[in-house]
Chain A
Amino acid sequence: MIKVENLYKSFKLNKKQQKEFKTDASETTVVNGISFTCEPGKIFSLLGPNGAGKTTTLRMLSTLIKPTSGKIEIAGFDAVSQPNEVRKSIGFLTGSTGLYERLTADEVLKYFADLNDVSKADFEARKKHYYDLLDMHDFASKRIGQLSTGMKQKVSITRTMIHNPAVVVFDEPTSGLDVITAENIIKLIRDCKTQGKTVIFSSHIMSEVDLLCDDLAIINKGNLLYKDSMANFRANMQTTSLTEEFIRIVRENNPIKS
């Protein structure tokens, strides 16, 4: 379960940034009081154009950065006061996630298993599960630098799931991937849902959202513009396609109060 209440994030602006953004303000608010809930066994999508605040929100959920104010609860733990407990409960994968090129797939997985205190037996069992599922046995002892993009993505997926997290956070996971490679991610997200995990993923690709998600929220310029189930989103559309509806909501830019 993920519970986000009245979440704010501001960044201080230095002189160079003030000049760049043509403002005299000493700080900028990138997440402006958003609230939402993601339930176990459901896929929640966070939608928004570039610069909407999706990555910042997901980074706060993953405890990479601290919120300016508001509350985040992940699997029953507070993200600010219990960051380590939260980290134990989440798997985090982004489209730009890199791997250690000079290590083998096996070594990368062992490293993250050790950092997550995974027992040897659990590690071997989970590794086998994902190696079978994603057909990874052939390149298990090859260095990451020698692998194709698709193979690397499979290693990234296994790395994300090696500690069996209750909550999985995907930040634009298919960005920059070809359809075949992106398919592995789609498969993983569905697999997480089947296992009863809480899944949140950010995207700006409506077809992907339509394919996967149960609930969605649309944000723009840090404000929450829409929050409901995917079924209701489809039922209440004022335009003819999902993409057009998404664009309409973003253009109208009417923030909703949580």
Chain B
Amino acid sequence: MKKTLIIAKKEFLDMFRDKRTLMRMILIPLLAFPLILYVITKIQTSQNEKEASKELTVGYVLNNQSPEMVERMDTSAQYVFTEYADTAQLKADILSEKINLGIWYSADFDNTYSAGKQATYGVFYRGADGEEHARFEELLAAQSSIYVQKRLSLNQLPSDYVEPFSVVSTDLSTVQEIIGKYAGGVLPYIFMAFCFMGCMLPAIDLFAGEKERGTIETLLATPVNRVHILLGKMIVVASFGLLSATIALVGLIGSVFLLGDGGELTTAIAKIITPQLVITLYALLIPIAIFFSGIMIPISVYSRSFKEAQSILTPLNMLVVLPAMVGFLPGLELNYTTAFIPIVNVVMATKAIIAGNAEIGPLLITFLSLILLSAIAVFISFKQFGKEESVLR
């Protein structure tokens, strides 16, 4: 064990002095989410502001009907209304983007409305500029409401005449449950994706890299059992996976707090991240990190060079990312079946823990199956590290 620790200590020192390590395992995970969230928020806010302040030109064809509604809408800010003689020209101008939207009245609009029936008007819009249409719809809805009230008042009816029910909706789910169900998959997904990436660089460097640099022979010629050499290196590989994932989570949570508005969501997230959640998350993720190390090390041991190992291991990323994305699907939950599927079980278990509805049985199966899986992976690594044709290839 002493030799294992000597090896692990040296490898930690070696890895922490590598600029690639610091960039890929610490700096990128730490800054990725704050930067992405900051940029997205900025772009979205500025886009929304731009859209809201944009002046919309709306063409209209009255068809000899009363201009009352158009005149009222024309008083709204950021709208300009222009009259057209026919719908053909109106459509052509919208298509050529001369104007933004169009409205035309049916020939019997006024008479139908006055008769207490349903009158018709039409709207031309470009679906490609959906936000313009949405803005105009709001304006039209307000007009519709005015016409309804006018008709009710004419018939001396109360304003709630057309709303026979008053619905009192009470959401009994906690914000925690909702986040757990719909966004709870994000947390383990990020953790696993970064854990995998975090394991990859040291796994390659400590085995294929050591072969490429010609240091493996001297290490193997020391009086240290190969199991101890393997374990010392494996500790470092798995630790960097966990470190990278932890830093990514700190970055993500930190950016939610920094960029969040301090509202209900921020409070709910603060409530979710309890010591129990962190402990359970790590209880599941430590075996996953060992499992990742255990599948990467044999490949790295077999590879002749850093590049060869990297070219084999990089596509493996998909094997982790895709099952982890299952967590985004609503409806799929941790049960006695999903608990046996590696990676998927971690995502489901984490979601259940966040939502506060995890059952002990499937949770235990998840944990035990991960332990078994990581033990198998360590065994495979050991077998591969013991093969002289691989180590000295």
Contacts and interface: CB of A to CB of B under 8 A. Distances in A.
A96 B214 contact: yes
10 contacts: A64-B217, A90-B221, A93-B218, A94-B214, A97-B214, A103-B10, A107-B13, A111-B10, A115-B7, A116-B223
B222 A87 contact: yes
A199 B310 CA distance: 40
Contact of B218 (A92, A114, A143): A92
Contact of B388 (A65, A92, A99): A65
Contacts of A90: 221
A2 B7 CA distance: 30
A63 B392 CA distance: 12
A205 to B, nearest CB: 20
B interface SS class: helix
Given A98-B214, A98-B215, A62 B221 contact: yes
B10 A159 contact: no
A69 interface: no
B218 A159 contact: yes
A84 interface: yes
Nearest to B225: A84
B224 interface: yes
A115 B224 contact: yes
Interface in A2-36: 11-12
Interface residues of B, number: 23
A10 to B, nearest CB: 12
A92 B218 CA distance: 7
Contacts of B36: none
A65 B220 CA distance: 10
Nearest to B6: A114
Contacts of B392: 59, 64-65
B307 interface: no
A71 interface: no
B383 interface: no
A117 interface: yes
B14 A100 contact: yes
A102 interface: yes
Nearest to B389: A11
Given A64-B388, A65-B392, A102-B18, A116 B214 contact: no
* Chain A interface category by residue count: 20 to 34
Nearest to B222: A115
Contacts of A92: 217-218, 221
Given A11-B389, A87-B222, A100-B14, 17 more contacts: A62-B217, A64-B217, A64-B220, A65-B392, A92-B221, A94-B214, A94-B217, A98-B213, A102-B13, A102-B17, A103-B13, A103-B17, A107-B10, A112-B222, A114-B6, A115-B6, A115-B7
A90 B14 CA distance: 26
Contact of A64 (B10, B17, B221, B224): B221
B221 A103 contact: no
Contacts of B388: 64-66
Interface of A: 11-12, 59, 62-66, 84-85, 87-88, 90, 92-94, 96-103, 107, 111-112, 114-117, 143, 159
A98 B216 CA distance: 9
Nearest to A11: B389
Contacts of A84: 223, 225
A111 B220 contact: no
Given A64-B392, A111-B10, A97 B218 contact: yes
B271 interface: no
Interface in B192-247: 213-215, 217-225
Nearest to A102: B17
A99 B389 CA distance: 22
A89 to B, nearest CB: 9
B126 interface: no
A59 B14 CA distance: 27
B17 to A, nearest CB: 4
Nearest to A99: B215
B54 interface: no
B3 interface: yes
Interface string B63-86: 000000000000000000000000
**Most A CB within 10 A of own CB, among B10, B13, B221, B222:** B221
Interface in B5-25: 6-7, 10, 13-14, 17-18
A70 B392 CA distance: 21
A88 B225 CA distance: 12
A63 B17 CA distance: 31
**Most A CB within 10 A of own CB, among B214, B222, B225:** B222
A97 B211 CA distance: 10
A63 B221 contact: yes
Contacts of A101: 213
A65 B7 CA distance: 21
B223 to A, nearest CB: 4
- Which 6 residue pairs of A and B lie closest in terms of their CB atoms, listed nearest first? A98-B214, A98-B213, A87-B223, A102-B17, A92-B221, A115-B222
A64 B221 CA distance: 6
A103 B13 CA distance: 8
A117 B3 CA distance: 9
Contacts of A96: 214
Contacts of A11: 389
A31 to B, nearest CB: 14
B217 A97 contact: yes
**Most B CB within 10 A of own CB, among A103, A143, A159:** A103
Contacts of A116: 222-223
A87 B218 CA distance: 10
